């Protein structure tokens, strides 16, 4: 099963807040908050944001939003680095961007009240929605489509060649892990969460996947960009499956934006302004790919201490589509895949989308609405 997320607690019941959480810090904060609060307690916070109201002025609001230092989160990075989010937010809004390593960590932060929104992949959002009985979050926009591949040793030329091989994914139950397991099942190859079956699936972080593939400890991996390109260019891998080939018109959600439900209900004006900034950032990424790549690469180096080769980021960029369309059908397909491979209980996703504010922004710009 995927890493278990903590029980959902409404922001009304949580007091632990962080502006730059790390995974261990999040778990400590969460444990403390759960000990301090119960579902019937009223002593652990006030309204949805707990911000003071200025006498004679607008309410001061803090907007904490997460994203990852990865090119699949390019519109988020550009939104921060170019000041496009801040430019669309009112002066009473204190914007506090936060970076995370993975979707599980980001959802934990949302559950604990450490953030209000995040860029995230589909499967962590599905899991968070399901485990909170639909109370934790809403998807308010798309961000990125595409850019995931099964890259393998060149000697593997067909699905049957995978039998008895060791293949990695970024983490158990994450978006690429589910896609890998579902595709293998379609090929008649069994897997299980413990790494057994016809194909042994070994969850590893993306950087570790590249290292272990290069030295031959694994035979391939289903990974997002830029790691797929790096496995090809730096370790001699070949593409066995382009996930775009598995979806209608080659589109599937890689990244979208979630907002805590209570924050969305309390501050729809702030979320709408954020989405205006997101649309502007997406437009910039689409219209200025070379500059956007430089901005993203510089930010990745600042956050992680390591930059990407410029040719690598350019090649990976070609496999991504930056779009505010959440490509909702692919989210539902991902949920069905997770259920089919035993990593998710059947879940009703009605209500997971709230695209009303995004569609207001698009209407203001004379653009076509998106569907949830």
**Homologous superfamily, domain 148-250:** Periplasmic binding protein-like II (3.40.190.10)
Region 45-70: what's the mean pLDDT?
69
What are the boundaries of each domain within the chain?
Answer: 11-144+253-311+322-364, 148-250
pLDDT of residue 366: 98
Q: Tens digit of pLDDT for each residue in 202-221?
A: 999 999 999 999 999 999 99
Residue whose C-alpha is closest to residue 312's, from 329, 325, 296, 334? 296
Mean model confidence pLDDT for the chain: 87
What fold is seen in the domain 11-144+253-311+322-364?
D-Maltodextrin-Binding Protein; domain 2 (3.40.190)
d(CA 318, CA 299) in angstroms, rounded, equals: 19
Q: What dihedral do alpha carbons 6, 115, 335, 228 form, nearest 10°? A: -110
Of all residues in the chain, what percent carry a pLDDT higher than 70?
85
Q: Which of 6-20, 55-69, 351-365 is most confident?
A: 351-365
pLDDT beyond 70 at 39: no
Do the domains 11-144+253-311+322-364 and 148-250 sit in the same CATH topology, yes or no?
yes
pLDDT of residue 58: 73
Put the strands of the sheet holding 117-120 in their side by side order: 93-99, 61-67, 117-120, 253-260, 137-146, 320-322
Rg (CA), the chain: 20
Higher pLDDT, 56 or 219: 219
Element holding 20 (H helix, E strand): none
pLDDT of residue 104: 86
Could you tell me the pLDDT band of residue 102, with boundaries at 50, 70 and 90? confident
Residue whose C-alpha is closest to residue 33's, from 55, 63, 7? 7
d(CA 189, CA 116) in angstroms, rounded, equals: 40
Is 194:153 a contact under the CB 8 Å cutoff? Answer: no
Q: What is the 3-state secondary structure (H, E, C) of 241-298?
A: EEHHHHCHHHCCEEEEEEEEHHHHHHCHHHHHHHHHHHHHHHHHHHHCHHHHHHHHHH
pLDDT beyond 60 at 239: yes
The residue assigned the tokens 């430089």 is: 294
CA angle 207, 258, 109 (to 5 degrees): 65
Could you tell me the pLDDT band of residue 158, with boundaries at 50, 70 and 90? very high
């Amino acid at each position: 099963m995927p890493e278990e997320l903590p029980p959902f607690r409404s922001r009304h019941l949580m007091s632990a807040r962080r502006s730059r959480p790390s995974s261990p810090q999040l778990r400590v904060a969460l444990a403390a908050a759960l000990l301090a609060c119960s579902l019937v307690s009223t002593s652990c916070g006030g309204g949805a944001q707990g911000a003071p109201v200025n006498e004679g002025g607008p309410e001061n609001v803090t907007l904490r939003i997460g994203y990852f230092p990865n090119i699949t989160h390019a519109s988020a990075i550009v939104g921060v680095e170019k000041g496009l989010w801040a430019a669309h937010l009112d002066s009473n809004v204190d914007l506090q961007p936060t970076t995370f390593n993975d979707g599980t960590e980001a959802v934990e932060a949302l559950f604990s009240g450490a953030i209000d929104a995040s860029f995230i992949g589909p499967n962590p959002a599905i899991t968070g929605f399901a485990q909170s009985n639909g109370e934790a979050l809403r998807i308010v926009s798309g961000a990125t489509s595409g850019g995931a591949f099964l890259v393998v040793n060149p000697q593997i030329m067909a699905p049957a060649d995978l039998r008895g091989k060791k293949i990695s994914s970024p983490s158990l139950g994450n978006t690429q892990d589910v896609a890998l397991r579902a595709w293998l099942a379609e090929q008649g190859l069994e897997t299980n969460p413990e790494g057994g079956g016809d194909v042994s699936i070994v969850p590893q972080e993306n950087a570790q996947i590249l290292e272990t593939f290069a030295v031959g400890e694994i035979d391939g991996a289903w990974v997002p960009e830029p790691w797929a390109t790096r496995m090809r260019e730096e370790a001699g891998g070949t593409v066995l499956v382009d996930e775009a080939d598995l979806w209608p018109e080659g589109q599937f959600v890689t990244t979208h934006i979630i907002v805590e439900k209570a924050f969305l209900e309390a501050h729809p004006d702030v979320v709408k302004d954020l989405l205006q900034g997101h649309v502007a950032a997406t437009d910039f990424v689409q219209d200025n790919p070379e500059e956007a790549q430089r901005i993203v690469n510089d930010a990745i180096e600042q956050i992680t201490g390591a930059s990407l080769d410029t040719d690598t980021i350019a090649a990976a960029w070609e496999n991504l589509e930056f779009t505010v369309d959440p490509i909702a059908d692919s989210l539902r397909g991902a949920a069905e895949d997770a259920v089919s491979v035993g990593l998710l209980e059947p879940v009703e996703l009605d209500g997971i989308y709230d695209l009303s504010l995004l569609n207001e922004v698009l209407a203001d710009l004379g653009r076509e609405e998106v569907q949830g």
